[in-house]
Amino acid sequence: MNRTTNKLNLNNIPLLVENLSSKPLDERIRRLPKVIIIGVKKCGTRALFECLKLHPLIKAPGPEPHFFDRNYHRGLYWYRSMMPATKEHEITMDKTPRYFVSPDVPARTYNMSPNTKLVIVVRDPVIRALSDFTQAVSKHEVESNMTFRRRVLRRDGDTNIHSSIVQTGIYVRYVTNWLKYFGSSNIHIVSGEEIVTNPLAVLGTVQDFIGVEREIDGNLIYFNKTRGFPCIRILKLKSTTKCFGETKGRNHVQTDSTTLKRLNDFYRPFNQYSICLN
Ligand code: A3P
């Protein structure tokens, strides 16, 4: 099959899926996601995703499918096969933070459905960069002598705009790319800081955006003082709780104040612009 034929097939698939959804309402079938948490990496996407899954109508796959960035060649049937089986009135949700920064993904997502609802979590980009670098160090993805300063600043002390860790925090650049395809009513931006300090308020607005009743409440989410983060109560299993893994809420690598100031100054104009988008 050549590339052109493959593209045509991909575009036809949403129609086929709609035909499938004319089956009886209580029948469970796999459906393409209506809601996607598209990013941003290290801003609290996992916490938001896990909390939203507590809603009785929101269903999601386990691993990140990475369909639009890494597996697009497999086609929408493959993507759908990764999703859990749901009833007509239930909402399928995906989370793949890499979508946010991948240039081709907005158009591809739009081609699947222009009505897709997109959730973006943002966080202070300097802290996000520290978190991202800390993760890269722990996964041995950076050379052992690499420091945060050397990763984000050039030798002359200016910000290294070629570093992906720096680029990811220029949120407005990527949001603009998504806005070329989706209206602002399809995009909901969430504060990663607020997911920690006021999770129920954040979850309330996200449930409104998705269009489901607010059902995630203080019985399901509580603040775990030991972890320093909100955690989940699993009501079905009495007194069982679930916090997010060791890889969340790590101590960040240390760096010097000049580096932090340089990065803060770099992001300031971009941050002000992205606030206008909200
Ligand atoms: P740190 O590890 O830098 O603290 P993501 O899931 O997008 O990779 O984001 C990871 C970040 O989610 C963590 O960054 C942490 O601060 C944040 N977070 C938000 N709510 C959390 C929660 N309830 N439990 C753990 N981490 C949470």
**Domain boundaries in the chain?**
31-271
Ligand 1 neighbourhood includes 131 CB (under 6 angstroms):
yes
Strands (E), 26-172: 29-30, 35-39, 58-59, 85-86, 91-95, 117-122
Pocket test for ligand 1, best of 48, 137, 244 (most atoms within 8 A of CB): 244
Q: What angle separates helix 257-277 from helix 125-138, to the nearest 10 degrees?
A: 120
Check whether 273 has a pLDDT greater than 70. Answer: yes
What would the pLDDT profile of 133-168 be if each residue is shown by its tens digit?
Answer: 999 999 999 998 899 999 999 999 999 999 999 999
- CA of 135 from ligand 1 middle (Å) equals 11
Check whether 8 has a pLDDT greater than 50. Answer: no
Ligand 1 neighbourhood includes 45 CB (under 6 angstroms):
yes
Name the residue at shortest CA distance from atom 8 of ligand 1: 42
What is the average pLDDT score of the chain?
A: 89
- CA of 133 from ligand 1 middle (Å) equals 14
Instruction: Give the pLDDT confidence score for residue 11 in this predicted structure.
Output: 45
Which is the CATH superfamily of the domain at 31-271?
Answer: P-loop containing nucleotide triphosphate hydrolases (3.40.50.300)
Check whether 83 has a pLDDT greater than 90. Answer: yes
Encoded tokens for 70: 């890494």
Ligand 1 neighbourhood includes 196 CB (under 6 angstroms):
yes
DSSP single-letter state for residue 221: E
Average pLDDT over residues 103-126: 98
Q: Sheet harboring 221-224: ordered strands across?
A: 221-224, 229-234, 240-242
Ligand 1 neighbourhood includes 154 CB (under 6 angstroms):
no
d(CA 196, CA 188): 18
